[in-house]
C-alpha cells in the first residue's frame, strides 16, 4: 500500500468536495444547526428549579414542606412532595426523579426551639446539581425560622448512586443538542458527502482509471480519509463556535472518530448500491434519517426496549453516548469497550465489503 498514492487521491477528493456546492451545503447545514442550538438554549437555566421530597409523618414535616418553598421563592423554584417512606424517597433521588430528599424527624421544631435540634438528613445524588446544593444551604434557615430562634441544625448529607441517570440533565440541553448536531454532520459527511464523490466517479468512469493507478484498498483508504478529515474539521468548528465544554477530550475524540469510521464504511457501500449522485441525493436521506435518530434518543430516559436496542446497536447511538461521557467529568453511560467493539464491527463490515468490491473491479 502506497501512502503517496493514498494522499494524492485524498487531496483530489477534498478539493472536489469543496468545489461541489451540493457537498459543501451538506457539510454546512449541520454546523448551522449546531450554532442554532447553541443560540437557542442558554448555558445555564435563568432560574434554578429543584424537586424536593420531604420525608416524615409528623406535623413538623408538613410545616417544613409548606414553609420552605415560600422562604426561597425569590431565589429558587421548589416543587415539594411528601413521602412517609425514607427508602422510597432515596430511590426517587437515585432514579433522578428528585434533587433532594429531606428526612424530618418527629419533634424537630420543638427540640430546635430548645436548642437541641436532632440531625437533619438530606439525601442527594452522586453529583448534586447547583439547585440541590442551594436546598442544602437554605433549608436550615427555614427550620430556624419555624423554631423561632437561631439554632444550630446538624445537616447530614447522604449521597446515593443514580440508577437511571438522565443524560440530558447531566450535560444540559444546549450541549446535548450541539452534540446531536455533531453526530448529524458526521452522518451527512459519511452517508452523503463521501458517497456522492464515489458515485460520481462510478458514473463518469473515472474510478476505473483510479483502479488502474492504485489498488482497491488504497482508493478505499483515501475515501475513508476524506470522511475522517471533513468530520474532524466540522466537529472542531462546531465545538469552537458553540463553546461547549469537553471535559475528557480523548474519550470525546474516540467517539467522533469511531462514529465517523463506521458511518463512512456504510456510506461507501451505499454509493455502490445507488451508483448515481442524483439517486443518492434523492434516496440517501431515506436511509440517513432513521440512522441519525438514535443520536437524539440516546439521552432520553425511559425509552421502550426496542428503541433502546436501536440506540445501542447503531454507531450513531453509541457515538452520541461516548461523546456525552467525553463532555462530562464522569460517565453517565460508561461501557466504552462495548462502543469500541461496535465501531469496529460496523467498520469491518462496511469497509471489508467495499474493499472486496474494489479489489474485484481492479482485477
DSSP 171-216: H-HHHHHHHHHHHHHHHHIIIIIHHHHHHHHHHTTHHHHHHHHS-H
Q: Which residues contact 331 (CB under 8 A, 6 or more apart)?
A: 325
Q: What is the reported pLDDT for 27?
A: 63
**What does the pLDDT look like over 264-299, one tens digit per residue?**
888 888 887 777 777 777 777 778 888 888 888 888
More confident call, 332 vs 166: 332
pLDDT band at 361 (very low <50, low <70, confident <90, very high): low
- Is 182 in the same domain as 159? no
Last residue of a domain, one of 144, 165, 186: 165
What are the helix (H) ranges across the chain? 3-19, 21-40, 59-71, 86-94, 108-113, 130-147, 167-171, 173-188, 194-203, 206-213, 216-242, 249-274, 277-297, 305-313, 315-327, 336-362
Binned at pLDDT 50, 70 and 90, residue 363 comes out as very low
One domain, residues 134 and 258? no
Q: Does position 305 have pLDDT exceeding 80, yes or no?
A: yes
- Model confidence at 321, pLDDT cuts 50, 70, 90, reads very high
Same domain, 289 and 351: yes
Q: Among 4, 22, 8, which Cα is nearest to 200's?
A: 22
Q: Please indicate, yes or no, whether residues 36 and 61 belong to a single structural domain of this protein.
A: no
Those residues whose C-beta lies under 8 Å from the C-beta of residue 123, and which sit 6 or more positions away, are: 89, 90, 93, 100, 101, 102, 103, 157, 158, 159, 160
Dist. CA 285–CA 52, nearest whole Å:
45
| Average pLDDT score over residue span 42-51 | 66
Structural domain ending residue among the three candidates 111, 136, 165: 165
The three three-digit cell numbers of residue 262, written as one number: 463506521
- pLDDT top residue among 116 and 242: 242
Residue 355 lies in domain: 3-41+172-362
If you search the block for the grid coordinates 438522565, which residue do you land on? 166
Please indicate whether residue 123 or residue 206 has the higher confidence score (pLDDT): 123
**3 state SS of 85:** coil
pLDDT (average), residues 231-244: 87
Residues 95 and 206 in one domain: no
**Same-domain check for residues 214 and 336:** yes
pLDDT number for residue 182: 92
Given 108, 133, 165, the domain boundary residue is 165
| 176 and 37 inside one domain | yes
Residue 352's pLDDT band, with cuts at 50, 70 and 90, is confident
Question: Are residues 333 and 187 part of one domain?
Answer: yes
Cα–Cα distance for residue pair 336/41, rounded to 1 Å: 28
In this predicted structure, the answer to whether residue 192 has a pLDDT above a threshold of 50 is yes
Give the pLDDT mean for 329-333. 84
- What is the domain count for the chain? 2
Domain check: are 195 and 240 in the same one?
Answer: yes
Q: Let me know whether 87 and 223 are in one domain.
A: no
For the segment 159-169, the average pLDDT, to the nearest whole number, is 70
The confidence score (pLDDT) of residue 255 equals 93
C-alpha cell at 313: 446497536
Top pLDDT among 128 and 348 is at 348
Same domain (yes/no): 145, 103: yes
Q: For residue 339, what is its C-alpha cell?
A: 462502543
Strand order in the sheet with 155-160: 77-83, 49-55, 100-103, 120-125, 155-160
Tell me the CATH number at 55: 3.40.1710
pLDDT for 316:
92
pTM to 2 decimal places: 0.69
| Residue matched to cell numbers 437541641 | 116
CA 54, CA 108: separation in Å to the nearest integer?
Answer: 13
Together in a domain, 187 and 253: yes
Q: How far is CA 74 from CA 68, 77, 142, 263, in A?
A: 12, 8, 14, 49
pLDDT tier for residue 25 given thresholds of 50, 70 and 90: low
> How far is residue 214 from each of residues 65, 203, 211, 291, 362, measured CA to CA in Å?
75, 19, 5, 32, 9
Comparing 107-111, 216-220, 335-339, the range with the smallest average pLDDT is: 216-220
Amino acid at each position: 500500500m502506497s501512502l503517496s498514492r493514498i494522499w494524492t487521491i485524498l487531496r483530489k477528493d477534498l478539493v472536489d468536495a469543496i468545489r461541489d456546492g451540493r457537498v459543501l451545503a451538506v457539510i454546512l447545514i449541520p454546523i448551522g444547526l449546531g450554532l442554532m442550538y447553541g443560540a437557542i438554549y442558554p448555558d445555564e437555566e435563568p432560574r434554578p428549579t429543584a424537586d424536593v421530597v420531604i420525608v416524615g409523618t409528623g406535623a413538623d414535616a408538613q410545616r417544613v414542606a409548606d414553609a420552605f418553598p415560600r422562604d426561597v421563592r425569590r431565589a429558587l423554584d421548589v416543587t415539594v412532595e411528601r413521602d412517609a417512606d425514607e427508602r422510597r424517597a432515596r430511590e426517587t433521588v437515585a432514579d433522578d426523579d428528585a434533587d433532594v430528599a429531606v428526612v424530618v424527624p418527629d419533634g424537630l421544631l420543638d427540640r430546635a426551639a430548645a436548642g437541641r435540634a436532632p440531625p437533619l438528613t438530606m439525601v442527594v445524588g452522586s453529583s448534586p446539581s447547583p439547585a440541590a446544593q442551594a436546598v442544602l444551604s437554605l433549608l436550615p434557615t427555614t427550620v430556624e425560622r419555624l423554631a423561632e430562634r437561631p439554632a444550630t441544625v446538624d445537616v447530614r448529607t447522604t449521597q446515593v448512586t443514580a440508577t437511571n441517570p438522565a443524560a440530558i440533565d447531566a450535560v444540559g440541553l444546549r450541549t446535548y443538542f450541539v452534540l446531536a448536531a455533531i453526530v448529524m454532520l458526521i452522518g451527512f459527511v459519511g452517508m452523503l458527502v463521501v458517497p456522492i464523490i464515489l458515485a460520481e466517479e462510478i458514473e463518469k468512469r473515472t474510478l476505473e482509471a483510479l483502479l488502474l493507478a492504485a489498488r482497491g484498498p488504497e482508493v478505499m483508504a483515501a475515501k475513508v480519509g476524506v470522511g475522517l478529515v471533513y468530520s474532524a474539521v466540522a466537529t472542531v468548528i462546531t465545538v469552537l463556535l458553540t463553546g461547549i465544554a469537553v471535559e475528557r477530550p480523548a474519550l470525546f475524540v474516540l467517539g467522533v472518530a469511531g462514529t465517523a469510521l463506521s458511518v463512512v464504511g456504510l456510506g461507501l457501500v451505499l454509493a455502490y448500491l445507488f451508483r448515481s449522485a442524483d439517486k443518492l441525493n434523492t434516496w440517501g436521506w431515506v436511509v440517513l434519517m432513521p440512522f441519525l435518530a438514535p443520536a437524539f434518543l440516546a439521552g432520553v430516559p425511559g425509552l421502550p426496549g426496542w428503541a433502546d436496542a436501536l440506540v445501542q446497536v447503531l454507531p450513531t447511538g453509541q457515538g452520541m453516548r461516548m461523546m456525552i461521557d467525553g463532555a462530562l467529568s464522569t460517565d453517565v453511560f460508561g461501557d466504552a469497550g462495548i462502543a469500541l467493539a461496535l465501531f469496529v464491527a460496523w467498520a469491518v463490515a462496511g469497509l471489508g465489503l467495499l474493499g472486496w468490491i474494489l479489489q474485484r473491479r481492479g482485477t
